[in-house]
Structure 1
Amino acid sequence: MRNIYLVVLLMLSLNFSAMGEEVKIAIASIDQAWLSPKRSVELIKENAYIASENGAGLIVFSESFIGGYPYWHYIHATIDLNYNYEKYLDFYNASITKDGYEMKKLQSYAKRYKIAMIVPFNERNEDENYKSVYNSAVFIDKKGKIKHITRKTRASHTEKLFWAEPKDPDIRVVKLAGINVAYNSCWQTYLPLIRGIQYAQGAQLIVVGTQDQGEEWNSFIKSVALEGHVYLASVTQMYQWEEIEKKDPELAHEFKQVMNNVFKLIPPKIQTGDGMLIDPWGKVVIKGKSMESKLVYGIINTDENVKSSMYKDATTNYRLPIDVSYRGRQYIKDGFAVDKIIK
């Protein structure tokens, strides 16, 4: 009888340990508003409400969702300073501050709908003697509290004409809706040191707002999920052509010419809006339809077996901790000097 009792206890403990908290995530694979913070905030309100009504505890948006992407850098030569300065002023004026009216609205929506958010935005820097814009993302919890703001470490290519390099990007993992979440802006995901810092802090989910799309990108992010043994949510930007045309008809015309010259076609939309959730074993949980403006939902199970792995690579071979430092952070874990999770 005693043996049967022990077996039952063992089975119950195994079942209990295997059960994790399930959190529904909404990936906002939707058309963005370009250079219009007001309309962007309205889109966030609308989709946060819909996501909450459908049981989501967390909603995430794509890169520079508020403010928009600086498409001018694809069109004109870097040396064309007059043109780029003129466009930079448009870009700067469409950015928002970290404690301004738009941010307070986001906080109120998170609190009203009881849903956590990660919202990438163009952050106007008003603390310096010059005008600059950061590629930032804000973490807001269900109570409407700003838990953290992270900034892209460095812009890619000629994006540097528009986005500034922050003094401290502050790469952190934040607990939102019961999940340890990190955010990467686009190509930042390619950097092993940044991924390592996020793994060492105990990330369970890495959110990527990006321009990247297609099979090459999909294959890469699957390998990242497997490498870190984390969930990965990727969401690609997407704009209607009308968004660019009504703000800058000349840019829209030139951009279409570039598209036609490079791809021999003009796509129905700018970017594809792909929304995808990948599990810690590199399997696609859900993938939205390209160019379809729609929320994509997935379930994240915070099982104790789903946690960042520092000791295995994507082929499950063991590796040694990497000896690196990161701006004198608070403690050392797995060879990384990192911060603790923001709770």
Structure 2
Amino acid sequence: MKKITLACVQATPVLMDKEKTLQKVLTWIEKAAEKNVDVLLFPESFIPAYPAGMDFGTVVGSRTEEGRRQFQQYWENSVEVPGNETAILAEAAGKYEMFLAIGVTERDLTTKTLYCTLLYFSPQGEFLGKHRKLKPTAAERIIWGEGDGSTLVSFDSIFGNVGGLICWENYMPLARMSMYERGVEIYLAPTADSRDTWQSTMVHLALEGRCFVIGCNQFFTKSDFPENLKDKLANDRPEVLSRGGSVIVSPLGKVLAGPLFDQEGLLTAEVDLAELIQARMDFDPAGHYNRPDVFDFRVNKS
């Protein structure tokens, strides 16, 4: 077993601008490389931004033309997978020999559907694959389609088995179990939830999965939106739309870095992978603490 450095970027995307946000991502990757980071996570839908405060002109039973144009703007700044952006990100991961994961809004050119997606890149500069969010939460269903079991994935790497779920998927017990069953050792949890209660969820994940957990969120305000959208944001939302709360937790629930609130920043934590074995001495949700004679667990991966 060996020591590695885990990290996450809590930053402000250039909202609704795919190209400029990608450049910002590359800048943060370079900063992480200066800290000798081995595994790096960016937040949920960092490209082109989580659309907090936007309603896309919808109420129950009604849509507006302006809202449809906002959706088109969001679609045009979303990421094709694979495509130009994934090639650039893969090259950056390989350049710094870093395992990279980043949340994007993915656009499917065939169906024109958008998905909330987590992308994975190897330290060898390869695009490994993706996970699409299984169940967009509440009003997110206006903009994102549902993923399926085929993208409940994890990847073996020189830094361990890496996988994860997006935001409130982490409240889905069976989705979590699918990760534990895959042997995830570094659990990624990009999110848009900046409530204090989310911190309890991250600690619970670590204790339940006996894995290292990286929780990662964005920091941005209403003022960060482009001019054509600022006056379209919900009036009842505060100026700070996402205050962050990124955090790194050990397999026994110890907070190693963060939580970071109300600013941009890079969280890092040097960890000893031997802790994964030590933590599973008395609990292992998919191993010796499992009861397959009592519970029948199956994932539809089609």
TM-score (normalizing by structure 2): 0.90
Aligned counterpart in structure 2 of residue 246 of structure 1, from 227, 237, 241? 227
Structure 1 equivalent of residue 44 of structure 2 = 63
The answer to whether residue 97 in structure 2 is matched with residue 126 in structure 1 is no
Question: Is residue 99 of structure 1 aligned with residue 82 of structure 2?
Answer: yes
Equivalent residue number for residue 8 of structure 1: none
Q: How far off its partner does 1:299 sit?
A: 2.0
Counterpart residue number, 1:202: 183
What SS does the aligned partner of 2:40 have?
A: strand
CA distance in 1, matches of 2:221, 2:194: 17
Q: Indicate if the aligned counterparts of 1:78 and 1:84 stay in contact, CA closer than 8 A.
A: no
Q: 2:271 aligns with which of 281, 295, 300?
A: 300
1:258 aligns with 2:236: yes
- Post-superposition offset of 1:79: 2.9
Specify whether residues 300 and 75 from structure 1 end up closer, same or farther in structure 2 by C-alpha distance, changes over 3 A only: farther
Query: Relative to structure 1, is the Cα distance of residues 300 and 104 closer, same or farther in structure 2, using a 3 angstrom cutoff?
Result: same
Quote the Cα distance in structure 2 between the aligned partners of 1:115 and 1:132: 30
| Contact 2:86–2:127 (CA under 8 A) maintained in structure 1 | no
The structure number with the bigger radius of gyration is 1
1:14-53 mapped onto 2 (5 Å cutoff): 20-53=1-34
Residue in structure 2 matching 1:309, options 280, 284, 293: 284
Q: Which residue of structure 2 lines up, in the alignment, with residue 184 of structure 1?
A: 165
Identity of aligned residues (%): 18
Do the aligned partners of residues 53 and 326 (structure 1) sit closer, same or farther apart at CA in structure 2, a change above 3 Å counting? same
The question of whether the paired residues in 1 share the 8 Å contact of 2:6 and 2:268 is answered with: yes
Deviations 1:23-54 (A, max 9, x none): 10121011222111111211111111111111
Q: For residue 125 of structure 2, what is the aligned residue in structure 1?
A: 144
CA contact (8 A) 2:7 2:214 kept: no
Q: Do the aligned partners of 2:152 and 2:301 also contact (CA within 8 Å) in 1?
A: no
Contact 1:286/1:297, CA 8 A, preserved across alignment: yes
Match of 1:117 in 2: 100
Cα distance, 1:76 vs structure 2: 4.5
Matched to 1:107, the amino acid is: A
The match for 1:278 is 249
Number of aligned residue pairs: give it.
294
Given residue 275 of structure 1, which amino acid in structure 2 is its aligned partner? S
> How big is the shift at 1:211?
1.5
Which one of the candidate residues 60, 63, 76 is aligned to 1:81? 63
More helix per residue: 1
Match of 2:73, as an amino acid? D
Following superposition, the deviation at residue 142 of structure 1 comes to 1.2
Q: Would you say the 8 A contact 1:181–1:203 is kept in 2?
A: yes
Cα deviations by residue, 1:117-158 (Å, 9 ceiling, x for unpaired): 001111110133xx1111111110112101121110121112
Please state if 1:291 is matched with 2:253. Answer: no
**Distance apart, 1:70 and its partner CA:** 2.8
**Quick one: which of 207, 228, 231 aligns to 2:212?**
231
| Residues 113/324 of structure 1: CA separation in 2 closer, same or farther (3 Å cut) | same
Shift of the alpha carbon at 1:247? 4.3
Structure 1 unmatched runs, 5+: 1-19, 260-265, 330-343
Aligned to 1:258, the other structure's residue is in SS state coil
Work out whether residues 219 and 263 of structure 2, in 8 Å CA contact, stay in contact via their aligned partners in 1: no
Contact 2:87 2:127 in 1 (8 A): no
Note closer, same or farther for the CA distance 1:78–1:175 as it changes in structure 2 (3 Å cut): farther
CA distance in 1, matches of 2:79, 2:181: 32
2:44 and 2:257 map into 1 onto residues whose CA distance is: 20
Q: What is the DSSP-based 3-state SS (H/G/I as helix, E as strand, rest coil) of the residue aligned with 1:297?
A: strand
Indicate if the aligned counterparts of 1:204 and 1:306 stay in contact, CA closer than 8 A: no
Q: What SS does structure 1 have at the residue aligned with 2:225?
A: helix
C-alpha distance in structure 2 between counterparts of 1:305 and 1:77, whole Å: 51
